[in-house]
Structures are given as C-alpha cells and as structure tokens.
A = this chain, B = another copy of it.
Amino acid sequence: MKIEAVDFFYLSMPEVRDIGDGSQDALLVRVSGGGLVGWGECEAAPLVSIAAWNCPMSHSACKPVSASVLGQEVNSPNDIRRINALVRAHSLDLLQADHTLSGVDVALWDLLGKRLEAPVYRLLSHDRATPKSAYASVLFGDTPHQTFEKAHTSRQAGYRAVKFGWGPFGRGSVNDDTEQLHAAREGLGEDGILLVDAGTVWGDDVEQARLRLPALQACRALWLEEPFTSGALESYRKLAAEAQPIGLRLAGGEGCHNFDQAKNMIDYAGLGFVQIDTGRIGGITSAYQVADYARAKGVQFVNHTFTTHLALSASLQPFAGSMADSLCEYPAEPSSLARDLDGGALQPDSNGDIRIPESPGLGVEPNLAAIRKYLVDAEIRVGNRVIYRSPEVPE
C-alpha cells in the first residue's frame, strides 16, 4: 500500500504546569494508506516536530521529513526500515527530524500490523509477548512525607517496583536527598523495588552523584537513572565503576535520538539498563535495533514512557519477546489528557504485569472525542503556503 497522508494532532492540557510531567501534551501522528490508518506518537515539543514534518528544504541533506515518507510503498517490515533510513539520510542536518520520524515510524508499524492482521511484535519476529513487570513511574514529592505517601499508595495499588524522579531530588543538599530516599524506602516496605531517577540534574559532575551513593546503597535502590545528561559517557563510566561494587546499577539512554547514541551508551557508559523512548529514538525500528544490541551486550533494555498507552504499547513491542528484559516503565500519574485519550488500555494484572495487546498493530486506538477535546488549533505559514493547519477530527 502507498502512504497517502500523514496528519499531526497536537493535543494539550488547558494549562501546562512547570513540573516534570511529560503527559501534559501530546503529538499524535495518523498515517493513512490502503483504506487503513495507523497511529503513533512523538515525544515532546509538538509544534517543533510538526514544523520538521513540512518545512521548506534547506539543502539536499536538510529536507523535511515528509519528503522521505509521502507516497512511499509499505508492504513489509523492510519497507519501514527503508523509509527510516531515507529520513535519516535526507534530513541529516534537521535536528528535530528524529523526533518527528519517531511518531511516523510508530504509526507505520501500527498500519502495517493492521494490514497484515498481526500485532507489531510478531512483525518484529518475536514469537510471543512475555508479560512485563510494571514499575510505577512517579515524581518525588515536594517533601519526604509526600514521597512516603506516594510510595505507600503505589504499593497498595499493586506495584512491586516504584521509580521516583525529578521534583526536588538532586537540587538541594545531600541530606535532603537522603531523607527523600529513606522516605521512599519506608513507604515501599522491605521488599518493594526502589528505582531512582536523577533527571540529568548533575550534568556531568561525578562528584555530585558520588555524594549520594551511600544513601542509595542504604536504601537499596536497584538503579540510579540519568545522573548525567545522555552522552556524558566518561562521567557515567566513572560513576558505574563506583556503583557496581555497592550493588547499584546505572540506567540511562532516554535522550538518545538514534541507534548510534544508544550503542555508545551501551559500549562506553557502564550501564546496567538502557532506557529507550520509542517516541524519540526514531520509532519502533530504531528501538528494536537497540534492544537487539543491548541483549547481545548483556545490558537490560527498558522502555522509557511518560505519556499515553499508545506510546506504551509502541515502546513495549521492540523487546516483547525477550524474557531477560522483564521490566516495564508504567506512567502511573497520567494527565487527564493521557487517560481520556487511551482509556487506560494497558492495565497491570493481579501480578502487577503488563501484557501487550494481541490485536493487530499496536492494539491501542486513540479516542477521537479526546482528540477533539484537547486539540490545539495551530497554523504555520511560509509565504503563501500554509504548511500546517490542525486537521479536522472525524466524528
């Protein structure tokens, strides 16, 4: 089938707050072809990714993403891989292109799954989808007590593992962080799994991270995530060498926007876990490449997902069949936008496990009424040409 149309739906909460909640807006991508539609999602900054779809060409290696997608034939997984490579080559100098491509690639896999009447993970050659143990991903409370409450509530809700991140962590004193970590451990109980996300707060400063190691050890955190920005390979490696002997592993990689960057994190950063956002890395195509490489290198693959269950389903497909990659980030505090859009399609079962839908494609259809409700009216014009206008949402 031929790719006939690609439409971008920019959704937003009426008010976006200055907090680390990535579900406050969303960029949905709808790909149409062969009488079917596929849906995908790009992570973050919707307007900028829209501009990268259809901006004027700057030169031969700086074309809009649309130039490599519209009109292409998609009949097999290799067609999607071919289109992915085309975008990378033709939009080499367009930085945002990788994020735009991500949502388009996801939608292409959804479309192809529907066409071939198979869940995406099967198109990726996984025989079956193994259940993934969901960890609740929540923000640190503003106070240790709030963090305790969040930990306690998450355990009551059935989560065996909880990840705390952002908020005040790493921004105050070592003592402040220590109190937060102990509150989290106390709320989780002895057998809860504690994961900690520093949200790149220390840049590349190994010493700042090192100061938190005793508390992380005392509270038995399984991993410390993003002590540094993605790509600060030397800082990661130095910290990993000190963390490993005390039973702490490093996690990172969500900022990677292509396979090479994730490969470098695996090769040089001393990671125990590589976390990939399908909405940034270049979609399911590139995430699958990373999952494959990580497995070969003995690094555990984990999805990075902070938005809707459409993005969640997309992010699970690349490592669906890998028993060793058993964890799943689960956005446990979604905005009403995210909840309305996906209807809470993927719920943990009584074991706290998430199962990938067995229906064709990604198995998560966005709710059109929610799209209408949260759609942002936007327009981009260059000269006499309107290169973007928010599309109509069908009834």
Count of chain copies: 2
A18, CB-defined interface residue at 8 Å: yes
A229 in complex: contacting residue of B24, B199, B260, CB < 8 Å: B260
User: With contacts A95-B99, A267-B233, A378-B381 known, is A44 near B62, CB below 8 A?
Assistant: yes
B261 and A60 contact, CB distance less than 8 A = no
Chain B binder among A50-58, A209-217, A355-363:
A50-58
Q: Which of A183-216 contact B (CB under 8 A)?
A: 199-200, 203-204
Is A333 part of the contact surface with B, judged by Cβ < 8 Å? no
Task: Count residues on chain A whose CB falls below 8 Å from chain B CBs.
Answer: 66
Q: Which of A362-394 contact B (CB under 8 A)?
A: 376-383, 387
B residues less than 8 Å from A324 (CB atoms):
none
Given contacts A96-B95, A378-B381, A383-B377, contact A55 B45 (CB under 8 A): yes
Taking CB atoms and an 8 Å cut-off, the chain A residues in 1-41 that contact chain B are 12, 16-22, 24-25
* Binary B-proximity of A253-265 (CB < 8 A = 1, otherwise 0): 0010110110110
Question: Which B residue's beta carbon lies closest to that of A381?
Answer: B379
Q: Which of B45, B55, B58 contacts A24 (CB 8 A)?
A: B58
CA distance A383 to B16 in the complex (A): 14
CB-CB < 8 A to A261: which residues of B? 231
Give chain A interface residues in 143-174, CB to chain B under 8 Å: 166
A230 CB to nearest chain B CB (Å): 8
Q: In the complex, what residues of B have CB within 8 A of residue A267's CB?
A: 233-234
Q: Looking across the interface, which residue of chain B has its beta carbon closest to that of A268?
A: B268
Report how far A85 CA is from B204 CA in the complex, Å: 12
Nearest residue, chain B, Cβ from A388: B380
Proximity bits, A45-73, B CB within 8 Å = 1, else 0: 11110111001111111100000000000
- Asked if A124 is an interface residue, CB under 8 A from chain B, the answer is no
- A219 at interface (Cβ–Cβ under 8 A)? no
Instruction: Out of B50, B60, B260, name the residue touching A231 (CB < 8 Å).
Output: B260
Whether A22 contacts B58 in the complex (CB less than 8 A), given A267-B234, A378-B381, comes out as yes
Instruction: Take A95-B99, A264-B264 as given contacts and tell me if A18 and B60 are in contact as well, using a CB distance cutoff of 8 Å.
Output: yes
Return the chain B residue nearest A254 by Cβ.
B93
- Cross-chain contact A47 with B93 (CB below 8 angstroms): no
Residues in B neighbouring A46, C-beta threshold 8 A: 55, 58
Q: How near does chain B come to A116, taking the closest CB pair, in angstroms? A: 28
Q: Is A92 positioned at the interface, with any CB of B under 8 Å from its CB?
A: yes
Q: A325 interface residue, CB < 8 Å from B?
A: no
User: Is A329 engaged at the interface, CB distance under 8 Å to the other chain?
Assistant: no
Q: Are B58 and A16 in contact (CB under 8 A)?
A: yes
How many angstroms from the CA of A24 to the CA of B379 in the assembled complex? 25
Q: When A and B form their complex, which 7 residue pairs have the shortest distance between CB atoms, in order from nearest?
A: A231-B260, A96-B96, A47-B55, A51-B51, A44-B93, A45-B94, A48-B51
Q: A43-B93, A264-B268, A377-B383 are in contact. List 14 more A-B contacts (CB 8 A).
A: A16-B58, A18-B59, A44-B59, A44-B93, A45-B93, A47-B387, A48-B48, A48-B96, A52-B96, A231-B261, A268-B268, A378-B382, A379-B379, A379-B381
A residues lining the B interface (CB < 8 Å)? 12, 16-22, 24-25, 43-48, 50-52, 55-62, 85, 88-89, 92-96, 98-99, 166, 199-200, 203-204, 229, 231-234, 255, 257-258, 260-261, 263-264, 267-268, 280, 376-383, 387
A/B interface sample: 6 pairs, CB < 8 A: A48-B94, A50-B51, A61-B200, A231-B264, A376-B383, A378-B383
